Amino acid sequence: MMYHLILYLHVIGAAVLFGTGAGIAFFMVMAQRGKDPKTIAHVAGTVVIADTIFTATAAMAQPITGYVLARMQGWPLAEGWVMWALILYVVVGVFWLPVVWIQIQLRDMARDATLRGAELPDRYHRLYRVWFAFGFPAFAAVMAILWLMITKPAL
């Protein structure tokens, strides 16, 4: 019973990480396409809240539930698919943490542009490109982790 509860929490956490990441990316890209600072400010503000509530919570719970599951199943942490999942989890973090900071910067610059009735500054566009680029390796790593969790290959 306890195993299934921990497994359930782990799967829900993985779904939240995947779903929130995909949703945030979609809405930020769609807002950016419109080029309206007011819309971007609103969407980026919502994205920052969603990342704080959902992504950060799931990101903290995943290693805890994963560790408990590995121990319950007798899976060694330092070898095989578990080790690769942990390495990829670090990769996700390396790209996600700067993205959170970037999202806050994008939100603030869009709010400022809205208040001033101005266009978005060049710095906004540079940071947006970094935000966009960082999404690809982070999302690919999440996809690989999900594959590892489902298939548990002998590596």
| Rounded Cα–Cα distance for residues 141 and 92 (Å) | 6
Q: Average the pLDDT over 131-154 and give the result.
A: 96
- Ranges of H-type helices in 35-79: 37-50, 56-73
> 79: pLDDT confidence band, cut at 50, 70 and 90?
confident
Q: Is the pTM of this model over 0.85?
A: yes
| Rounded Cα–Cα distance for residues 144 and 151 (Å) | 10
Q: Report CA 103 to chain centroid distance, whole Å.
A: 12
Instruction: Give the per-residue pLDDT at 83.
Output: 96
Residue boundaries of the structural domains of the chain? 2-150
Q: Which amino acid is at 60?
A: M
Tens digit of each residue's pLDDT (9 = 90 or more) over 22-56: 999 999 999 999 999 999 999 999 999 999 999 99
Per the structure block, which two tokens stand in for 3?
């195993």
